[in-house]
Homo-oligomer: A and B are copies of this chain.
Amino acid sequence: MIGRKLTERLTRDGRLGKREISRLTLHDVVTPQGGTTPFPVEIKTGDFVGADAAAALVAGKPDVIFHLAAVVSGEAEADFEKGYRINLDGTRHLLEAIRAIGGGYRPRVVFSSSIAVYGAPFPASIGDEFLSAPLTSYGTQKAICELLLTDYTRRGFIDGIGIRLPTICVRPGLPNKAASGFFSNIIREPLAGKEAILPVNEAVRHWHASPRSAIGFLTHAAALESELIGPRRNFNMPGLSVTVEEQLAALKSVAGATVVARIRREPDATIAGIVSNWPQNFDARRAIALGFTAAEKTFADIIRIHIDDELHGAFVH
């Protein structure tokens, strides 16, 4: 989803910061969708594991590499070996392939990390100096990649930056069984005239950003001057700390009570338990100082962005 939206944005803008885009290579496990673009686009498919695949991917010496590839949280937990093979070894192969080119080649690598690098217990607001103590294999793999990104940058092999995205809301597409899925489901489904299930208490607080913000963070990260980033290369991105109650109030204010009435409460102790270990609030001052800016100021903005970007401005009243 992020990869597709990023491609749309790059295609629309035709540039990254001050530089024109001359060429784009897309790589995914499924064939990425092409389209009309102002520059040549090469499409590759593969599972991002092998050293050879990584070498082929960087052989053209791209100036900017967005590394979004990952086995997601639930799968990395269910399949221990696959999670490490893709999320850790895949990243190492990519970094090693870049290093092997040498000759001063030092591309900007934008790594999409995750707030899953953090594990409870948390302080009231998580700053960039709080330890990474992940409670999932996925979070562990992301934290390890952050360390590699920093060391490869320090050694001059890459020019890396890692951005820890908030939970993306409203995630487009079908309802998703990930434990975090309901944060989006309770907005997206009612706006489409469908019922949504709320499995947790309305007091649950979490950290959100719109897909539009996520893409903005990635493109901003790609264009930042290296010297400004400094030696600590991983950043908590700005987001909104809101309760489910505040999400529902925002939905009512934007779309009305009829839409909110499509949400059915069906408490799920398992999901509530998982979510209780998730972070609720961050201090993103370092990212903000570097100019990372969210597209939304309130959760109502997040809902409006979804209606604009995914629903052509309309929803089912």
| A binding-site residues for B, Cβ under 8 Å | 80, 119, 123, 128-135, 137, 140, 143-144, 147-148, 150-151, 154-155, 231-232
Question: Which single member of B135, B140, B151 contacts A134 (CB below 8 Å)?
Answer: B151
Point out the residues of chain B lying under 8 angstroms from A119, CB to CB.
231
A131 adjacent to B131 (CB under 8 Å): yes
A232 and B133 in contact (CB under 8 A), knowing A80-B155, A155-B80?
Answer: yes
| 6 A-B pairs with least C-beta separation | A140-B151, A144-B144, A140-B147, A129-B131, A131-B131, A133-B232
B147 adjacent to A135 (CB under 8 Å): no
B147 adjacent to A143 (CB under 8 Å): yes
Tell me the bound Cα distance from A119 to B129 in angstroms: 11
Chain B residue, CB-CB nearest to A157: B80
Copies of the chain in the assembly: 2
| 11 cross-chain CB contacts under 8 A | A80-B155, A128-B131, A130-B131, A132-B147, A133-B232, A135-B231, A137-B151, A140-B147, A140-B148, A140-B151, A144-B147
Point out the residues of chain B lying under 8 angstroms from A154, CB to CB.
135
Chain B residue, CB-CB nearest to A151: B140
Chain B residue, CB-CB nearest to A142: B147
Tell me the bound Cα distance from A46 to B19 in angstroms: 51
Tell me the bound Cα distance from A47 to B151 in angstroms: 24
CB distance from A70 to the nearest CB of B (A): 16
A130 and B132 in contact (CB under 8 A), knowing A140-B147, A147-B140?
Answer: no
CB distance from A178 to the nearest CB of B (A): 20
Chain B residue, CB-CB nearest to A233: B133
B134 adjacent to A147 (CB under 8 Å): yes
Point out the residues of chain B lying under 8 angstroms from A131, CB to CB.
128-132
Point out the residues of chain B lying under 8 angstroms from A133, CB to CB.
150, 231-232
Tell me the bound Cα distance from A129 to B134 in angstroms: 12
Further 10 A-B residue pairs, CB within 8 A, beyond A129-B130, A134-B147, A135-B231: A80-B155, A119-B231, A123-B129, A129-B131, A132-B132, A133-B150, A133-B231, A144-B147, A144-B148, A147-B147
Tell me the bound Cα distance from A135 to B232 in angstroms: 9
